[in-house]
Copies of this chain bind each other. A is one copy, B any other.
């Protein structure tokens, strides 16, 4: 019995190590790879994928699982066993031919989507999107085993989540966010910074900020890339950021966001290294960390006061004067089409739109040919103005072309979780603002480390948040926080 579990875990550790290697490779591709190595790199990545896929469905896993006596294991062992069983069940339910066809389709679909977006031509993308949805639906049916197909897909990113629960939660968010948005935008707009801002100094500031939020450069590194991301687990968690001469907030808040993801991985207890438990619990929990670092801490009045001083030291004149004006500029709410550029008030409205549309697509209630119109109608309803072109609308995100249905809601779930954690953290740390005003996040990040991050994936995502907060998660803390913050900022 113990022998089977040990063999299973040894196999799993090797798989996790190989999966880390794949992540190093992906990081390398975005940061270091020579330009003309791209074709060869595809072969290298495909070879790693093939090895990993074979291991995920290795029949020995089934034998070991059958031989293990779960009751004899300690809680961590049981948590690992649960994750291994879950992943094996899911991997073996999808026929290999379907998985292969999906991989092929997604690779083709990505190219067509990129062209359609460049041409602002949704009709060119629709046929391949139909095929992607059809394949994902088949996959969902195989996984759902009679249950809800969308839930089965969602489970890839947020184990245990149900769309009906999310619907209730998000349903409560929408009207209050729409109302808040309207109230804020009726007020005079704050001033912007005036650039340009030297991009080398922006990278220097990014390093200062990463350190300020507790990122460990002995277990990671920060490089420049086209897209900011965090990559890896355990003792090698790397982040990237980008810079734009006229918009220093882009680099600053991308960096803090990725630092949140990375610190989660870096702060998981070392005993979990290279085990199934030794990774973030879900996309939603991961996003809760990136968002609380970025928003509730990084965009707070106290922290931006410190940041204002840092930026003045680095860049000199910023084009605005005083900590309050700077705080307003950081948190400026403005009309925009693009999810990734949205402020705290509007971000979740972008996500809820996608969640509702993709559920309807997978459920068959919305046809692909009607998607563009449905997007544009919903956008007008929530944001009050019309989409000008598909690249600013239905074609803006890569997710659907990659078959990532069920991924979007984890962004808003992360924001909801961040709201809950922030409420609990503030209650435990009454003098937090005094620390943040000194650029000191150590108490806040230690709280997150102690209450959440160290546990990795050792429990269900929702349970981890509930344990950290001392109560079940709900949308209320996020709404209360947003209404208070922006009510104050915009004198509502």
Using a CB–CB cutoff of 8 Å, the interface residues on chain A facing chain B are: 13-15, 17-18, 20-21, 24-25, 28, 32-37, 39-41, 43-44, 46-48, 50-51, 216-221, 234-236, 238, 273-274
Q: Complex Cα distance A39/B51, Å? A: 23
Q: Could you tell me if A43 and B236 are in contact, using CB atoms closer than 8 angstroms? A: no
Q: Could you tell me if B37 and A21 are in contact, using CB atoms closer than 8 angstroms? A: no
A-B pairs with lowest CB-CB distance, top 4: A17-B47, A37-B236, A36-B218, A40-B235
Option from B24, B25, B34, B273 in Cβ contact (under 8 Å) with A218: B34
Chain B residue contacts of A36, Cβ below 8 A:
216, 218-219, 235
Q: Could you tell me if A43 and B25 are in contact, using CB atoms closer than 8 angstroms? A: no
Q: Can you name 27 A-B residue pairings with CB atoms under 8 Å? A: A14-B46, A14-B50, A15-B47, A17-B43, A17-B44, A17-B46, A18-B44, A18-B47, A18-B48, A20-B40, A20-B44, A21-B25, A21-B47, A24-B24, A24-B25, A24-B28, A32-B221, A34-B218, A34-B220, A35-B218, A36-B216, A36-B218, A36-B219, A40-B235, A40-B274, A41-B236, A51-B51
| Other A-B pairs beyond A40-B234, A40-B273, A43-B274, 20, CB < 8 Å | A13-B43, A14-B46, A17-B40, A17-B46, A17-B47, A18-B48, A21-B21, A21-B25, A24-B28, A32-B32, A32-B221, A34-B220, A34-B238, A36-B216, A36-B218, A36-B219, A36-B235, A37-B235, A37-B236, A40-B236
Q: Complex Cα distance A238/B32, Å? A: 10
Q: Complex Cα distance A273/B43, Å? A: 10
Each complex incorporates copies of this chain amounting to 2
- Main SS of the interface on chain A? helix
Q: Could you tell me if A18 and B235 are in contact, using CB atoms closer than 8 angstroms? A: no
Option from B35, B43, B235 in Cβ contact (under 8 Å) with A39: B235
Q: Could you tell me if A219 and B34 are in contact, using CB atoms closer than 8 angstroms? A: yes
Chain B residue contacts of A15, Cβ below 8 A:
47
A279 to chain B, nearest CB (A): 13
Q: Could you tell me if B37 and A219 are in contact, using CB atoms closer than 8 angstroms? A: yes
Q: Could you tell me if A236 and B34 are in contact, using CB atoms closer than 8 angstroms? A: yes
Interface centre among A32, A48, A217 (most CB of B within 10 A): A32
Q: Complex Cα distance A51/B20, Å? A: 14
Chain B residue contacts of A21, Cβ below 8 A:
21, 25, 44, 47-48
Chain B residue contacts of A236, Cβ below 8 A:
33-34, 37, 40-41
By beta carbon, the residue of chain B nearest A273 is B40
Q: Complex Cα distance A25/B21, Å? A: 8
Q: Complex Cα distance A48/B16, Å? A: 11
A39 to chain B, nearest CB (A): 7
A460 to chain B, nearest CB (A): 26
Q: Complex Cα distance A14/B14, Å? A: 19
Q: Complex Cα distance A32/B21, Å? A: 14
Q: Complex Cα distance A233/B453, Å? A: 40
Q: Complex Cα distance A15/B50, Å? A: 11
A198 to chain B, nearest CB (A): 20
Chain B residue contacts of A40, Cβ below 8 A:
17, 20, 234-236, 273-274
Chain B residue contacts of A28, Cβ below 8 A:
24, 28
Q: Complex Cα distance A156/B25, Å? A: 28
Chain B residue contacts of A234, Cβ below 8 A:
40
Q: Complex Cα distance A20/B40, Å? A: 9
Interface centre among A47, A48, A238, A274 (most CB of B within 10 A): A47
